Amino acid sequence: MKNSFDQWSAGEQTPATNAGLIELNNMKNLRTLHVSIRNPSALPRDLDVEKLTKYKIRIGDARRWRDYEGSRMLELNLDGTSDVLRKECIQSILAKADDLFLYKLDRTEKSISALSSKGFPKLKHLHVGHSPSFRYILEWSSLPTFEALETLLLDNLVNLEKICTKNISIGSFSTLKVVRVEGCDKIEVLFPRSVARELPQLEEIKVVGCKLMRGIVEADGDRGKFELPKLRVLKLYWLPNIENFITTGSSPSRSTSDDQIGTQIAFFNGQQVAFPHLETLEVNGLDNIGFMFSPSMVKSLAQLRKLNVSFGKKMEAIITEEEGLAVEISETLAFPMLAHLSLQYLKSLKCFSHSKCSREARSQDNVQSRCTSLFNREVCH
């Protein structure tokens, strides 16, 4: 029935013009169900789904089946309001689903976690799009929630403020591998630091077109170095407000004291963060970034293979100087595994390593980006 029929008769329709889903209750040995239900009102409240071990259930106006990896999938494309989420059969399905796609949900709960009375103990892949009601994915929890989740995809959630608050149980999101967020204009940070440091499996972060995003990780009182040990891919596109990877609770983490005004702040500061297995870094359209790496950060990127930086209006140099940890002239900054480097549409770029530019500026009074060598003996790639 996956691609053949979706015009089920609504339960209250008398006489029934088509087959009704309630008839599935008569199939006592039914264990696998692939079904598309165009009209949500056709779903019986007492549909027996407990016996199902495998299912792909699509409810609402979805034009094609999406690719899912799991054996228990639920896709809701409701295009507005519906009471379908309150039906007991849907609650049972949510509790066992490993793939969940939610699209065009409105006037529902303000957090995804509140949709299920039984939690999401089996859920591995969650995709939520075009659903203006949601302000959080997980607002709070006393027990681990989304503890099996591996993939989190969020797009065009116009009122999403946070993926989660700080008040969640240890173990929540602990298996998360991929996070992709696009077109969520109210979100300011991806994760609080207290949550981010409990993501040991995270391999990919992609954030696109979030207008108020000011940092990926929100700082707390912990001043130790923050590490994502398995992160391999980091892609940040068109984030006009972002200035630092780790940001403070109210504004980008820049000091405004008199003795530090003008200090060069790198987006990635090696004294704060480490990605020992990062292989791909793409930064596009981050207009508030002047410098990409501190020297200590460069030395931690031993596995970096691909670096793309483009459309940065303020980008002066890829590597800046680091106060208190200045690189000696004889010391070489290296990206030993780098195979692909792309620097495009960076109109303020003067050089690759800013320490070379600074010394030349002191001796020549002026540095022209067209006249200065982009690379120098401090950088090896």
**Least reliable range by pLDDT among 93-107, 262-276, 277-291, 302-316:** 262-276
Instruction: Decide if 29 contacts 52 (C-beta within 8 A).
Output: no
pTM of the model: 0.86
The pLDDT score that the predictor gives to residue 107 is: 76
For the cut 90, the answer to whether the pLDDT of residue 370 exceeds it is no
Neighbours of 83 (CB within 10 A): 13
**Least reliable range by pLDDT among 61-75, 237-251, 297-311, 352-366:** 352-366
Q: Is residue 88 helix, strand or coil?
A: helix
26: its two tokens:
């008569």
Residue 67 lies in a domain: no
pLDDT over 90 for what percent of the chain? 50
In Å, what is the CA distance from 153 to each residue of 54, 59, 103?
Answer: 23, 19, 12
Q: Which of 250, 249, 251 is nearest to 265 (CA)?
A: 251
Who wins on pLDDT, 299 or 82?
299
Strand partners, 343: 309
What is the arithmetic mean of pLDDT over 271-300?
A: 93
pLDDT, mean over the chain: 82
What is the arithmetic mean of pLDDT over 146-168?
A: 93
In tens, the pLDDT along 96-153 reads: 999 999 999 887 789 999 998 888 999 999 999 999 999 999 988 777 889 999 999 9
- Model confidence at 10, pLDDT cuts 50, 70, 90, reads low
Residue 120 lies in a domain: no
Residue 329 lies in a domain: yes
Residue 89 lies in a domain: no
- Model confidence at 364, pLDDT cuts 50, 70, 90, reads very low
Strand partners, 102: 76, 128
d(CA 115, CA 332): 54
Host domain of residue 325: 177-253+263-380
Residue 116 lies in a domain: no
Residue 340 lies in a domain: yes
Amino acid at 88: E
177: its two tokens:
């591998």
Distance of CA 235 to the CA centre of its chain: 10
In Å, what is the CA distance from 272 to each residue of 144, 155, 159, 276?
Answer: 28, 29, 30, 13
Backbone angles phi and psi of 4, in degrees to 5: -115, -25
For the cut 80, the answer to whether the pLDDT of residue 160 exceeds it is yes
Residue 46 lies in a domain: no
The pLDDT score that the predictor gives to residue 262 is: 38
What residue spans of the chain are helical by DSSP H?
A: 88-96, 193-196, 295-300, 354-364
The pLDDT score that the predictor gives to residue 355 is: 62
Instruction: Decide if 55 contacts 73 (C-beta within 8 A).
Output: yes
Neighbours of 167 (CB within 10 A): 13
The pLDDT score that the predictor gives to residue 173 is: 93
pLDDT over 70 for what percent of the chain? 77
230: its two tokens:
């398995």
Amino acid at 161: E
Residue 218 lies in a domain: yes
In Å, what is the CA distance from 5 to each residue of 21, 23, 38, 373?
Answer: 12, 15, 9, 65
| Count of structural domains within the chain | 1
251: its two tokens:
């504004």
Owner of token pair 């020549």 = 364
For the cut 60, the answer to whether the pLDDT of residue 35 exceeds it is yes
- Model confidence at 41, pLDDT cuts 50, 70, 90, reads confident
Q: What is the four-CA torsion angle of 249, 252, 255, 260, rounded to 10 degrees?
A: 170
d(CA 149, CA 340): 32
Backbone angles phi and psi of 66, in degrees to 5: -90, 160
